[in-house]
Chains A and B, each alone.
Chain A
Amino acid sequence: MATGLTEFLDNFVKNHDNRQLLAIPLAVLAVSLAVLLVSFASSGSPVTLGMEFQGGTQISVETTDSPAVLEEMYSSYPIKDARQAGSRVIMQFGVMDNEEQRQLEEDVMGRFSNVEIKQIGPVYGQELQVQALQAIFISFIGMSIVVFLIFRSVVPSFAVVLSAFSDIIIAAAFMRVAGIDLSLGTVAALLMLIGYSVDSDILLTNRVLKRRGLVEEKVSRAMQTGITMTTTTLAALVVMYVVSTFPYLVIPSFTQITLLSQISSVLIVGLLADIMNTWLLNTGILRWYVMKPEFRGRYNR
């Protein structure tokens, strides 16, 4: 996959001018931004907030009953959703008072085995939400500063930061469309994405700016390394996604690990976006920059 993809991308990059290279990733970025904006306008939040940020209770139990049966069974509680995950059903409840909460917990614990319960108060959820947004924001700013310090020149650094930004936006828009809630796990994934996505961008920029050789040559060399990096990571993530999401296909009693499943799915999309953003967006900007007449081919020999 890596070799085929590299060849395809390499040819694509060689045969298109910078403007054409930028067009695709910028269009995807624009669509993603539009998705987030529409969501923000209609629901007040660009991504769907999960239980951890809204407050509420999530209970997952091992059962042979269908989600509909369970929904009926707990209809006197503020049940919002019940869905199947292998041999388990995961139920979402709204905010309850202590007494009701306790009653529900006792009922569930008495009736089912292998129970998992998670409850977050609405006030704490609000606080987590603010903190998570701050964390993503500060991380991003911190990353940008480091990138500027490494390259000490505006356009290449900007290209790296824009590409990382686009990765996150595309991953977030995917979450919105695919119905993945923003949870502590997916926030972690978005933060990981910041770390992963700059790896290949830094590699590319470093090779092009600090190495002798023809730009075309340097880009395709960097691409070979970069695509290998991203595909190894992707391979690991796909495995993690499959094992944590569909473990019951292998061993029926096994349970979905929601946290790992969410992290890996968001990262997979983010890294796919990163391949596009690094090798089209970042490369396009960088290639335009180093070929500017004022450098008189300084980076192209």
Chain B
Amino acid sequence: MSDKKSLFKNVRVIIFILALLASIVLIHPGYTPGEGMTTKLNYGLDLEGGSWLQIKLQGALVQVDADPGMIVSQMVEPVIGAPIQITGSNLDVSGVSSSDSYITFTTSVPVSASQLELLDLGSVSVDKLNQNTTQVTLTTSKETLIQAYLSKAFDAEVISLSTENGIVYEIRTEASEEEIQALMEKVGGTILKNEDGTSTYKEGVSTNTRDLTRDILNDKLNSLGLKDIPVRTVGEDYILIDFAGIDLATAKDIAEKPGKFEIRIQTTGNETQHVLYGDSIVNVGIPTYHDNQWHTPFTLNEEGARALQKVAIDTGATDYPESHYLNMYLDENKIYGAPLSYSAASRLKESPIYSWEASTGTDEAAKTEASMLQIHLRAGALPVNVVLVGSGHVDATLGKQFKTEAVIAGLISLIAVAAVVFRRYRRPEILVPMVGTSVSEVIMILGVAAAIGWQLDLAAIAGIIAAIGTGIDHLVIITDEVLYEGKLPPTKVFVSRIGKAFAIIFGAAATTIIAMSPLVVMGFGALKGFAITTIIGVFIGVVVARPVYGVVIKELLEADGNGSQESMAD
């Protein structure tokens, strides 16, 4: 009996037992009549039923250089309808503070400052030098000019990001390297090269933009009353949305509604100009009926309200609202258009307006339109264009079936393994701890999964099987090492044998972990789960479970009378 006591004093054994108990608590198995087994484990969609969508964020990151003067000519000349002459610039001089950097040009036609301010080239001051010459000074920077140029060319938002390698421009729509190169050549510029000679062009968006998009989507789905829809980023520019218990068609409806929302204002004829994006909309109210009209109320933030005021004044909408409709677009499709009301137009001349109402009409159709508008306005704020690149759907009953089958496969596999082990050793003192160790490794892997909220899907189950498979291999190595002469050696020899066994096991485990780690880093969907589960499993096995197996079989074999009747075929 003293042996038994020493077993439970062994630190490894204590840790093992604690880890096992903790895992069981974490998994929290229970039985509810009618519902069957319940646990705290999370299952992936392929076991739970539901659908998933994977979307790609379209965009490009690039470093470029250009001649500021040519950009200004390119952009200003079509607006004023006359050639310009660049007369001075310090934009290419380094060390000038941003408030002092400028570019000036002259032209023969009259120019209004507001006309030019619309181009986002910087702050504009216009001096009439004489009858035939107008001088314009833009207080600006090269980045601002390039940003404005690219933004105009792609009709999309362009952000400049300072990195340690210089300014990187993020174009928030699909933009190929060739397109950008052609555009830059027009203004005496080019796409810059990295130090190693490769192009700085990179398809995709920055991590911040990706995370922002994810957060907005998250918000949006939750605000539609769909709680707990996990929106995850996958790799560099993919976002994965899991819709548990929702079929694919509904999921697409939900996800495709949120899009890029934009308000544009009519300038002349059919031409429109950007006013604001959905991210300027801070609040959307429930449609109301008053003044014989259906209205969808919404609120703009400071930036949005000021932008709308500025554009309304600049385009003349405050004076002639009827010829300057405000149009709303969702993913480039016009969804609403109306002029400013006369009262709003006159108020705008004085101050920005934050609270707005979009009126849709009087009838039933108008009511529907108003409520659609509500969703669209709320759904508006994705900063980049997205495309659907993958999707999937598993019926809930099918998922349940998969789960049952996976469990059955696991159990029968375990019995098969036990049978092979028993055939080989023909001793329950080896069989029981071996199977016990494997089972406890599974429990601990599940415990970790429950603790970190890891989703168990079919790939993760494959990972568990992989970990258990190598686990059994390792237990066989330990057993054969310990019983090298066919019987249990004296304690001193036993310790060195265990050491040798672990030298092999650590080597084998290290190769498995190394072999799986690229998948964790590269991280594409299903295989990432597989790799992480395998690594967790192998790690738990090597560190927690397998050392205990060595101790336990020694105790059991000693209790059994030194295991002299070993049936190893020599």
14 further interface pairs, Cβ-Cβ under 8 Å (given A135-B522, A195-B512, A233-B473) = A3-B569, A102-B252, A142-B511, A142-B518, A184-B524, A184-B525, A188-B459, A195-B470, A198-B508, A228-B480, A233-B469, A239-B409, A255-B398, A257-B402
> Could you write out 23 A-B pairs with CB less than 8 Å apart?
A123-B56, A124-B56, A132-B524, A142-B515, A142-B517, A143-B515, A184-B459, A192-B462, A192-B469, A192-B534, A196-B470, A199-B470, A203-B504, A210-B500, A210-B503, A229-B473, A235-B416, A243-B408, A254-B405, A255-B401, A260-B409, A260-B461, A263-B462
| A192–B397 CB distance below 8 A | no
Cβ contacts A160-187/B at 8 Å (1 or 0 each): 0000000000000000000000001101
Residues of chain B from 374 to 392 with CB closer than 8 A to chain A in the complex: 387-392
For residue B519, which residues in chain A have a CB less than 8 angstroms away from its CB? 135, 139, 191
CA distance A211 to B503 in the complex (A): 12
| B470–A184 CB distance below 8 A | no
| B476–A225 CB distance below 8 A | yes
| B518–A139 CB distance below 8 A | yes
Nearest chain B residue, comparing its CB with the CB of A250: B408
Q: Does residue A128 face the partner (Cβ distance < 8 Å to B)?
A: yes
Interface residues of A (CB under 8 A from B): 1-3, 6-7, 98, 102, 105-106, 109, 113-121, 123-124, 127-128, 131-132, 134-135, 138-140, 142-143, 145-147, 150, 184-185, 187-188, 191-192, 194-196, 198-200, 202-203, 206, 210-211, 221, 224-225, 228-233, 235-240, 243-244, 247, 253-255, 257, 259-260, 263
Name which of B136-144, B262-270, B419-427 contacts chain A: B419-427
| A224–B568 CB distance below 8 A | yes
| A138–B472 CB distance below 8 A | no
Contacts A114-B397, A259-B462; is A243 near B409 (CB within 8 Å)? yes
Q: Does residue B484 face the partner (Cβ distance < 8 Å to A)?
A: yes
Q: Does residue B117 face the partner (Cβ distance < 8 Å to A)?
A: no
| B473–A113 CB distance below 8 A | no
Q: Does residue B362 face the partner (Cβ distance < 8 Å to A)?
A: no
Nearest chain A residue, comparing its CB with the CB of B398: A114
Partner of A119, one of B392, B470, B531: B392
Cβ contacts B516-538/A at 8 Å (1 or 0 each): 11110010111100110010000
For residue B351, which residues in chain A have a CB less than 8 angstroms away from its CB? none
Interface residues of B (CB under 8 A from A): 51, 54, 56, 235, 238, 247-249, 252, 387-395, 397-398, 401-402, 404-406, 408-409, 412-417, 419-421, 423-424, 458-459, 461-462, 465-466, 468-470, 472-474, 476-477, 480-481, 484, 500, 503-504, 507-508, 510-512, 514-519, 522, 524-527, 530-531, 534, 568-569
For residue A139, which residues in chain B have a CB less than 8 angstroms away from its CB? 514-519
For residue B409, which residues in chain A have a CB less than 8 angstroms away from its CB? 239-240, 243-244, 257, 260
CA distance A123 to B58 in the complex (A): 12
Contacts A117-B393, A121-B390; is A194 near B515 (CB within 8 Å)? yes
For residue A203, which residues in chain B have a CB less than 8 angstroms away from its CB? 477, 504, 508
For residue A147, which residues in chain B have a CB less than 8 angstroms away from its CB? 507, 511
Contacts A146-B507, A150-B507, A195-B516; is A109 near B248 (CB within 8 Å)? yes
Closest Cβ of chain B to A156, distance in Å, is 12
For residue A191, which residues in chain B have a CB less than 8 angstroms away from its CB? 515-516, 519, 531
